[in-house]
Amino acid sequence: MSEIRTIDAYLAEVRGHLSPLGASDRDEALVELESLLRADADRAGEAAAVAALGDPATYAAGVLEAFEPDEVAEADGRPVPQGHVLGMPYDFRGASVERIGSRVWNPADPRIFMPRMFGVGWTINLGAIAVTLGLIRPDDVGDESYDRIPKGALNVTLAVPAALAAIAVVLMVVAWPTLPAQVPIHWGVSGKPDGWASRTVVIGALLALAIVPAALTYARVLRRDVSARSRLLAAAGLGMEAVLVLGIAAVTVADANGGASGNWVLLVVLATLAVPFLMLYMPLRSGLRAEWREVRGQNGRSV
């Protein structure tokens, strides 16, 4: 590697090594580094300032270590948002199975409102809700529980998002001729629409949202080497998305036909919680029951 002599080259090099960091942390670290370098360059010259900091890879490693608590926390199952805006956590890194595992289904963590998986705001921790409702104890579900889920129960659960997406697609195709050129896309608190868009754009977007994430997720999780845990968590995340798409499609169609009201919107919101909740809780309960049946046969079984 050739000698780095300018501040910009050094910053670019460090930025490259900081890719594991979230964008906001990375930018913060780089802004700090740049002001440090510029102050030093004023005194000693640019090349000397850059040389004083040493190898950019080593410097970046130090920065990564300083930010490590978050990474460690995430690995421990304690969710860490990418950053905060106006006091609300945000995250635009996309939903990975680990993020679903640490936020949407994390019975060990009693917080019901978790930093959101994608976007701004909070995600509901369905695992904490199951614990609060007294359905499970915080440590009942372990990694083994996923492997004990009966094949049939797992397969049915995996099929739920596909079924929801298929219903949404059929509904939109069938209802297409009944839709006006402009359909509502936003509803006020009273349930009255207060925003409209072209039906081609709205239905096109909803069809894409029904099909594309499902196709991508199934292609990823139906491979042979994917664990039951990854499959279930990914399916639950997809189920939440599919029920939302179906709900929006249903409200749009019903509204065009004069049937939608504020209650519909509330129903959709509840369904986006209830569907993934059942998709996680029902199969995991079967998995736990399978573990417990074995204990009742013996005097205790290592798991």
Partner 1 sequence: MAAERDTRVSQFRKGALELVILALLDRGELYGVEIVDQLAERPGLEASAGTVYPLLSRLKKAGVVDTTWRESPVGPPRKYYRLSAAGTRELEEMSRSWRDIAAAIDGVLAEGAHDE
Which parts of this chain interact with partner 1 (CB under 8 A)?
76-78, 107-111, 137-140, 142-143, 288, 291-292, 294-296, 299-303
Measured in residues, the chain has a length of: 303
Least distance between partner 1 and beta carbon 277 (Å)? 20
Return the number of the residue (3 or 139) whose C-beta is nearest partner 1.
139
Tokens representing residue 47 in the block: 């090349």
Q: Which of 103, 81, 89, 74 is nearest to 233 (CA)?
A: 103
Q: Name which of 186 and 296 has its Cβ closer to partner 1.
A: 296
- What are the start-end ranges of the H helices in 67-198? 68-75, 97-103, 126-132, 143-147, 151-175
Q: Of the two residues 19 and 302, which places its CB atom closer to partner 1 in the complex?
A: 302
CB of 94 to partner 1, least distance (A): 23
CB of 76 to partner 1, least distance (A): 4
Residue number, 36 or 303, with CB nearest to partner 1: 303
Distances (CA, A) of 203 to 172, 196, 258, 260, 272: 7, 12, 18, 17, 20
Taking the complex as a whole, the smallest distance from the CB of residue 163 to partner 1 amounts, in Å, to 31
Residue pair 181/199 in contact (Cβ under 8 Å)? The answer is yes
Give me the sheet containing 88-91, strands edge to edge. Answer: 83-85, 88-91, 119-120
Which C-beta is closer to partner 1: that of 97 or that of 171? 97
**Min CB(148)–partner 1 separation in Å:** 11
**Dist. CA 73–CA 142, nearest whole Å:** 18
**Smallest distance from partner 1 to CB 188, Å:** 37
On whether the CB atoms of residues 172 and 203 are closer than 8 A, the answer is: yes
* Contact present, 256 and 178 (Cβ < 8 Å): yes
Contact, 34 vs 18, CB < 8 A? no
Instruction: Report the nearest approach of partner 1 to the CB of residue 288 (Å).
Output: 8
For partner 1, the closer CB: 21 or 288: 288
Residue with smaller CB distance to partner 1, 215 or 295? 295
Whole-angstrom CA distances from 292 to 201, 245, 278 are: 51, 37, 20
Of 266, 299, 284, 256, residue with least CA distance to 104: 284
Least gap, CB of 169 to partner 1 (angstroms): 39
Question: Is the CB of 69 or the CB of 262 nearer to partner 1?
Answer: 69
Query: Quick check: 80 and 70 in contact, CB under 8 A?
Result: yes
Alpha-carbon distance 233 to 221, whole Å? 10
